[in-house]
């Protein structure tokens, strides 16, 4: 068997394998399953981030009033959470883009599974395979156009489900642990901040009685409240430092899985199809 016939057989086997894959439907079912899973994870992460953003907004709007020695001073300890709130807002935009990206993939997946589209792809694949063995097709001037159209449709038909499968593989192998840990810790941070918000002590109001005993009581109450504010600030600091790191981890997970990986995969698939097109254009005989 000469080199030319070997190329013919390789190309035809590959084309027939694609036909069988389209007919079997397993690629589509897995692609749909994994796309749905990614979409749900994105919605869960987005919801957790918005929940944390909500309790931080409550903390930032809570004032504590002290009046040591009759002098009024207002504190807003929750303002220390400003940096993490900014990160969460940026994360919300990233999650919106990631969720939209997965939503577009779901639509494209539905279109690629349209029966008429699938039948058209299978017909072109069979014609391309037959063009190697039937002389009229082999020598037809339409053969290069047939291959170009076929490869474009194959790209559209298989790229989205393969992106979903590859993305899920990357997630399970390298990103799942980071995602689970980050979402769990952000839920705990939300609970902590909410608990701190609920433990706000009543304001220490000015006492009209000017007796020495009442002033001592007022100073003592103000000092106790000040100590409480210091403790709250420290707790807010701890929550902020924990939340920032986990939010960044989630940003990395979703940027890689829903943006960088699909773009890289499409580029690689395009290069492979271009190589296949060059291989498929065998010399006519």
What pLDDT is recorded for position 203? Answer: 46
* 268 CB-contact burial (10 Å; exposed 0-12 / middle 13-18 / buried 19+): exposed
Calpha distance 129→127 (Å, rounded): 5
What phi and psi, each to the nearest 5 degrees, are found at residue 211?
A: -65, 155
Torsion, Cα 18 23 25 26, to 10 degrees, reads -60
What pLDDT is recorded for position 85? Answer: 77
- 172-188 b/e (C-beta count within 10 Å ≥ 16 → b): eeebeeebeebbebbee
Element at 64 (helix H, strand E)? strand 64-66
Calpha distance 91→251 (Å, rounded): 6
Calpha distance 237→253 (Å, rounded): 25
What phi and psi, each to the nearest 5 degrees, are found at residue 65?
A: -105, 130
What pLDDT is recorded for position 121? Answer: 92
pTM of the predicted model, to two decimals? 0.76
Q: What is the pLDDT along the chain (285 residues), one digit of tens a residue?
A: 567 778 788 888 888 999 999 998 899 999 999 999 999 999 898 888 888 888 887 776 665 444 444 444 444 555 667 777 788 888 888 888 888 889 899 999 999 889 999 999 999 999 988 888 887 776 777 888 888 888 888 988 999 999 999 999 999 999 999 999 999 988 888 888 888 777 654 444 444 444 545 544 444 444 444 445 666 667 777 777 778 888 889 999 999 998 899 999 999 988 888 787 777 665 444
Contact between residue 147 and residue 124 where contact means Cβ atoms under 8 Å apart: no
Q: Within 10 Å of residue 23's Cβ, how many Cβ atoms?
A: 11
What pLDDT is recorded for position 280? Answer: 67
């Amino acid at each position: 068997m000469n080199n030319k016939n070997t190329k013919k057989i390789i190309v035809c086997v590959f084309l027939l394998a694609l036909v069988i894959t389209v007919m079997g439907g397993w690629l589509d079912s897995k692609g749909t399953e994994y796309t749905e899973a990614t979409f749900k994870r994105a919605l869960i992460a987005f919801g957790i981030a918005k929940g944390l953003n909500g309790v931080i907004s409550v903390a930032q709007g809570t004032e504590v009033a002290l009046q040591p020695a009759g002098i009024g001073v207002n504190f807003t300890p929750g303002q220390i959470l400003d940096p993490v709130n900014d990160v969460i807002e940026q994360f919300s935009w990233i999650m919106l883009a990631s969720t939209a990206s997965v939503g577009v993939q779901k639509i494209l997946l539905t279109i690629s599974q349209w029966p008429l589209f699938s039948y058209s792809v299978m017909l072109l694949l069979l014609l391309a395979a037959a063009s190697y063995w039937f002389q009229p097709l082999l020598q037809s001037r339409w053969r290069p156009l047939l291959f170009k159209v076929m490869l474009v449709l194959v790209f559209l038909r298989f790229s989205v489900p393969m992106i979903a499968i590859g993305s899920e593989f990357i997630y399970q192998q390298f990103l799942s642990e980071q995602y689970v840990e980050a979402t769990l810790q952000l839920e705990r941070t939300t609970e902590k901040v909410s608990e701190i918000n609920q433990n706000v002590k009543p304001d220490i109001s000015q006492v009209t009685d000017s007796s020495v005993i009442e002033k001592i009581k007022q100073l003592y109450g103000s000092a106790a409240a000040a100590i409480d504010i210091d403790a709250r600030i420290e707790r807010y600091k701890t929550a902020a430092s924990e939340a920032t790191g986990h939010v960044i981890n989630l940003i990395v997970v979703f940027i890689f899985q829903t943006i960088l990986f699909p773009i890289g995969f499409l580029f690689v698939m395009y290069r492979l199809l271009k190589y296949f097109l060059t291989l498929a254009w065998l010399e006519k005989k």
